[in-house]
Amino acid sequence: MKVSREQMAENRRRILDVASRLFKDKGFDAVSVAEVMKAAGMTHGGFYGHFTSKDDLVAQTLAHALAADSFGDGTFSDFVRSYLAPRHRDNPGNGCPISSLAAAIRHQTPAAKAAMTEGLRAQIARIEDALPDQDASGKRRAAIGSWAAMVGAVILARAVDDPEFSGEVLEQTRAWIDANVG
């Protein structure tokens, strides 16, 4: 049975959405192609109609997830509060792909690294645009520094087994950004 272009595009988007959640939640190596396709409600055989390999899926999933990752219409301060919140920390599958996958990207293909690089550049540019008026080099420095602090704080908050300390990492990073950036 022939599938329409629209249905193919919808199926591909669904595979990318599912792969994004699974990769962010479990990591690249812990997720199989069969698991992605099953979670997307499709057969394993349909995979190769969309992707050439799992490496291709990883790179395209990163590009898809990072293009969708944005802080919307709110202020930078609103974004910081949302990002450095227990809800984001506790739900990596629905959270930021950078904080979930940055440490593992070094083991991936050049195409996956390129997707991460472009996503990181785009996020830093969005932060620069949202920051209060200051000179261009100051905005760039503040955007990179605050983004690095935010991603690092979420990674660290997820890594510890002490909920109180985990929350403190998020709270203190938020307070530091509020005092120094925004």
CATH number at residue 54: 1.10.10.60
User: Do 125 and 42 belong to one domain?
Assistant: no
- The string of pLDDT tens digits covering residues 104-129 is 999 999 999 999 999 999 999 999 98
pLDDT at 46: 87
Instruction: Give the domain extent around 25.
Output: 5-58
- The segments of the chain whose pLDDT lies below 70 read 1, 69-73, 182
Is residue 75 domain-shared with residue 160, that is, in the same domain? yes
Per the structure, how many domains does the chain have?
Answer: 2
pLDDT of residue 1: 62
Spatial contact of 139 and 131, defined as CB atoms under 8 Å apart: yes
Q: Residue 132: its pLDDT value, please?
A: 75
Q: Are residues 161 and 102 in the same domain?
A: yes
Looking at residue 72, its pLDDT comes to: 64
41: Cα separation from own chain's centroid: 23
- pLDDT for the residue numbered 182: 66
